[in-house]
């Protein structure tokens, strides 16, 4: 079985079925992200939400993961056990410099 860290390239939406099967859906696009927040109102209207609570950063429990973290362990288990659409997005500043990443989920 391939790891989600290998499957979930940035901005590449996957779908997790109720049986845990992973597919690549057509016609579902990643939401926009700016400054660690969903940018477009349509992203929230479409049901996309940022996942929090999985970072190992000391004193921080928000959605933005450190660049050295990856989709594995408890985070991978959570994604594989939670049906819906999933995507990893890059957090970048106004100069386009990446400082981390987030995972967004949209229920089916």
User: Could you read off the pLDDT tens digit of each residue along the chain, which spans 108 residues?
Assistant: 789 999 999 999 999 999 999 999 999 989 988 877 887 666 666 889 999 999 999 899 899 999 999 999 999 999 999 999 999 999 998 888 999 999 999 998
What pLDDT, on a 0 to 100 scale, did the predictor assign at position 66?
A: 94
7, 61, 105, 10: CA torsion to nearest 10: -40
What pLDDT, on a 0 to 100 scale, did the predictor assign at position 34?
A: 81
For the entire predicted model, the pTM comes to 0.91
Closest CA to 61 of 76, 70, 51, 69: 51
The answer to whether 67 and 101 are in contact (CB under 8 A) is yes
The answer to whether 77 and 60 are in contact (CB under 8 A) is no
- Tell me if residue 5 falls in helix, strand or coil: helix
Pairing of strands 22-23, 14-16: antiparallel
């Amino acid at each position: 079985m391939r790891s989600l860290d290998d499957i979930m390239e940035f901005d590449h939406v996957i779908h997790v079925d109720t049986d845990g099967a992973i597919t690549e859906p057509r016609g579902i696009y990643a939401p926009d992200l700016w400054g660690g927040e969903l940018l477009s109102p349509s992203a929230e209207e479409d049901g996309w939400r940022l996942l929090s609570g999985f970072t190992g950063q000391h004193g921080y429990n928000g959605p933005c993961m450190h660049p050295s973290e990856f989709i594995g362990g408890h985070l991978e288990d959570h994604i594989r056990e939670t049906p819906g659409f999933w995507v990893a997005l890059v957090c970048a500043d106004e100069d386009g410099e990446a400082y981390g990443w987030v995972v967004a989920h949209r229920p089916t």
